[in-house]
Structure 1
Amino acid sequence: MSKWKLAAVKSSQTLETADTDLIQLISDISKDVDSRHAGLLRDAKGATPDIEGLDSSLRGKAQTAILSLQSGLLERETEVRLLLLAALCGEHLLLLGPPGTAKSELSRRLAELTGGRYFERLLTRFSVPEELFGPLSMKGLENDLYERQTSGYLPTAEVAFIDEVFKANSAILNALLTILNERLFSNGSARLEVPLLCLVGASNELPESEELDALYDRFLLRRQVAQVSSAQLGNLARLAAGSLRATTQTSADGAEAGGGRLELADFHGTASTAYSAVEVPDSVIDLLTTTRDYLQDKCEPPIYVSDRRFMKAIKMLQVAAHVDGRSAVHEYDCLLLEFVLGSRPDDSQKVRAFVLETIASDPGLQQLELVFLGLFGRACRALEGGNEQDVAEAQQEASQLVELLDLRQGSVGLTLDGGFADLGATIWQSEGSVREAVQVLTPPMTENRKKAEDLLREALLLQTALQRQVAASALERILPKRYKQYQKGVSGRV
């Protein structure tokens, strides 16, 4: 046999041996990773939801208050929650809808719950300031003082209900704005502090004139109230006849006995405590800013969100989390934004849909995939260059990424397997609202779970390859899809 043929045979045998060794290496790495991957998924599926806040005394009182407020009312679960949240935040609630939908009844129940003084008035276009702020003092006029007798009127009330609030004329408007925003009332030369916790405004229609825009903006929470649905008309008739009264009252009394009652001090102190005690994570900040940008820049027509309303929305979420017994705001709390950020009744569905879509898209998982792509490129260069320090740094980053992805897939799996326990545990979402949200979130989050599990396996493969310091050619065989992405990125930069 000639020398060149002998050399070719030896070369071929060497390549076959090298290829066999490479195949065996890849097989060993795959078996090791599959075992570790299966173990991590098994551990995640064995976890149980740990819902924070179920033993909170304030939460128990709030649950009792919700049942008490909605006792004997049908399809007012959301309105009751918003009313209580507004009062705990020291904010105001606007109820839009036709007469006879229990708007004033809810306000009176809130006053009874707090034990505070109550004021109620129906405005017309001919209403005068005396109807809201009290008559002029005759003794004051005798002494050349322009003062009002405010006792029993709005400046002395803790809870107030103003029907047809947008019929306020200019003579009433300025004083009303100051009371709502600054909690101050100018009585003659004195500026008096107003004890108002919450004012509930009601109207059949939205304000039409620009001078009422400032008043409209003072209502942080807004809710469109509809008549009782056709499906519940039978129960409404039974309620009117008295046959449902005992059942609803019994449930409220039972909850009250177990949860205790909210005191006036709870309403005065909850908000300030929440602002200092509750953290707003970066994920929630990102969701808030993304939602505002979407509403103002991409909605048609655009929905303006003032800086003041944006900041108050964040504080409201802190109060909601604190009363729930949590130390941090959750992304699910942002579903409450549908009652805060919209300008018109139909805007609420736009806000809710966008928040759900953003939560379902899982921006955190998308960010982790970008981190993995960047790390893969650095690992390829480190292995190709043979720099031990670069390989060691890539190994450390890969280990950190594996931990993050394990937490992510575990979190998504826990949410799905636990039936969205975090969402269902909050007292601020009605059962119907939770069901609707779960129906929207389940399909995309199921896909996210699969993506997180697959990405975790890829990260484990990369971590193991770096630990064994395989050749770049082996990395190409282990993760071919990612290697093609890496090559495209390199050629694009060249």
Structure 2
Amino acid sequence: MSFAALAGESVFLLGPPGIAKSLIAKRLIQAFDNSSYFEYLMTRFSTPEEVFGPLSIQELKDNGRYLRLTDGYLPTAQVVFLDEIWKAGPAILNTLLTVVNEKTFKNGSDIEKVPMRLLVSASNELPDEDSGLEALYDRMLVRIFVNRIQNKQNFKSMLTVGTSEEAKIPEGLAITDAEYHQWQRELNDVALSDDVFEKLYQLKTMLEASADEHRATLSEADLYVSDRRWKKAVKLLKASAFFNGRDSVNPLDLLLLQDCLWNSPESLEIVRTVIKDFALNHAFDQQEVFQQIEEGKEQLEEIQEEIEAEFAMPLSMETTTGLLRKDVYQYDISNAKSYKVGPATDLVKLVLLQSNMSVSESEKGDSRWVYIAKDELSRAIKEGAVRFMVM
């Protein structure tokens, strides 16, 4: 929501009543220096005067002008919270559409600039299909599904810790008007590189493919993402990059899109699933890395086979006679160099050709070489239990 405020975009909160949705907006206002706030609970009986300001009787009487007194109402507020927004009538919502889209308000014959930086709207329901509210809903870029507290410790904190509607912002950290407008200009300079665009388009393609798979269970409206919303979403991505100290969008920013591209709780699950798949397998070129790892493994196996073929000892085999016939292997190690390690003498040094190969129960692990008594080695050779190079 902070990025939405800094990018000048709107937020929609979907969730049951009584979960402090309005508190979120009241806290955000504290981030701005000398900012104004407007809050209103919509009902089907709400009138434009309650939201946009009453008519000036004096102006109408003296000059015959239809003018609203907007001071203290939505047209002069920087942060706005509208609860149960879909209960409002067409007269309010149609005017609100222009305010959100153009940041202007038609007051009589005058077009007034609206200083609104953030509109937070909330409801426990979605607008009805074919209600004519699709255009307004589409302009609410960030959609957040909020629910009751699920975590036990968080629930305890909510019950026992006092909650202030005013957040304490250290002096000098509140965002001034000059800073805000300067940032808006600088956001336009944040780059969307060709590489990140390709990833964005890949995500778009994945979402559309998933939408096709769910046509039988979800309506087209649930899965529709307009070009306008993609355009507005890129501005949010640029805000994420800018306020993280970068001059270009990177793949990590794309994960924010999970809160921009859903229209209903059902489509939210689909969007989250697709973006999770995208993040795990595509966002950071994982498939290329996996391919390189597999190629590296194949090359390593080839090198290992070449080393074994080059240095492995060819053992001769003979069949013993007696009551039981048995195949045994032999190799002449009489000329192998002898080593002494501690009290042990007459040892030979073996270089392992494969990781975790052992010539005895006492030698385990990923060693490069081992020392072994010649007589023990002879027994291992006879059993054909080891491939090695004698040093």
Output the TM-score relative to the length of structure 2.
0.67
Q: How does 1:85-100 map to 2 (within 5 A)?
A: 85-100=3-18
Is 1:131 equivalent to 2:50 in the alignment? yes
Structure 1 stretches of 5 or more lacking a match?
1-81, 369-408, 410-447, 461-494
Picking from 202, 205, 217, the partner of 1:293 is 205
Match of 1:198 in 2: 118
SS at 1:211 equivalent: coil
SS at 1:223 equivalent: strand
CA contact (8 A) 1:95 1:224 kept: yes
Q: How does 1:409-488 map to 2 (within 5 A)?
A: 448=290, 451-455=291-295
Q: How does 1:80-119 map to 2 (within 5 A)?
A: 82=1, 84-114=2-32, 115-119=34-38
Picking from 233, 239, 254, the partner of 2:161 is 239
Is 1:271 equivalent to 2:176 in the alignment? no
CA contact (8 A) 2:14 2:122 kept: yes
CA contact (8 A) 1:221 1:340 kept: yes
Q: Distance in 2 between matches of 1:155 and 1:261?
A: 22
Q: Which structure has the highest helix share of the two? A: 1
CA contact (8 A) 1:295 1:304 kept: no
Kindly state the Cα deviation for residue 109 of structure 1 after the two structures are TM-superposed: 1.6
- Amino acid of the structure 2 residue aligned with 1:119: F
SS at 1:126 equivalent: coil
SS at 2:144 equivalent: strand
CA contact (8 A) 1:125 1:167 kept: yes
Q: Report Cα offsets for 1:11-48 as digits up to 9, x if no partner.
A: xxxxxxxxxxxxxxxxxxxxxxxxxxxxxxxxxxxxxx
Q: Distance in 2 between matches of 1:269 and 1:202?
A: 29
Q: Which has the higher contact order (CA 8 A, sep 6+)?
A: 1
SS at 1:146 equivalent: coil
Q: Distance in 2 between matches of 1:318 and 1:452?
A: 31
Picking from 61, 71, 76, the partner of 1:151 is 71
Identical residues among aligned pairs (%): 40
CA contact (8 A) 1:88 1:268 kept: no
Q: Distance in 1 between matches of 2:191 and 2:31?
A: 29
Q: Distance in 2 between matches of 1:261 and 1:136?
A: 34
CA 1:351–1:147: 2 relative to 1, 3 Å:
same
CA 1:210–1:289: 2 relative to 1, 3 Å:
farther
Q: Distance in 2 between matches of 1:145 and 1:353?
A: 55
Match of 2:350 in 1: none
Match of 1:402 in 2: none
Kindly state the Cα deviation for residue 351 of structure 1 after the two structures are TM-superposed: 2.0
Match of 1:324 in 2: 244
Q: Report Cα offsets for 1:144-201 as digits up to 9, x if no partner.
A: 2111111111111111111111112111122111111101111111111111111110
Q: Report Cα offsets for 1:437-470 as digits up to 9, x if no partner.
A: xxxxxxxxxxx2xx4244368899xxxxxxxxxx
- Amino acid of the structure 2 residue aligned with 1:296: E
Q: Report Cα offsets for 1:372-430 as digits up to 9, x if no partner.
A: xxxxxxxxxxxxxxxxxxxxxxxxxxxxxxxxxxxxx6xxxxxxxxxxxxxxxxxxxxx
Match of 1:223 in 2: 144
Match of 2:229 in 1: 309
Is 1:214 equivalent to 2:127 in the alignment? no
Q: How does 1:140-179 map to 2 (within 5 A)?
A: 140-142=59-61, 143-179=63-99
Match of 1:281 in 2: 193
Q: Report Cα offsets for 1:229-283 as digits up to 9, x if no partner.
A: 142222222214x8xx9xxx9xx87x948x944333333332331221x222333
SS at 2:149 equivalent: coil
SS at 1:195 equivalent: coil
RMSD: 2.8
Q: How does 1:324-363 map to 2 (within 5 A)?
A: 324-362=244-282
Kindly state the Cα deviation for residue 99 of structure 1 after the two structures are TM-superposed: 1.7
Q: Distance in 2 between matches of 1:88 and 1:360?
A: 29
Q: Which structure has the highest strand share of the two? A: 2
Q: Distance in 1 between matches of 2:103 and 2:77?
A: 11
Q: Distance in 2 between matches of 1:337 and 1:126?
A: 35
CA 1:330–1:353: 2 relative to 1, 3 Å:
farther
Kindly state the Cα deviation for residue 349 of structure 1 after the two structures are TM-superposed: 3.2
- Amino acid of the structure 2 residue aligned with 1:218: R
Match of 1:53 in 2: none
CA contact (8 A) 1:86 1:221 kept: yes
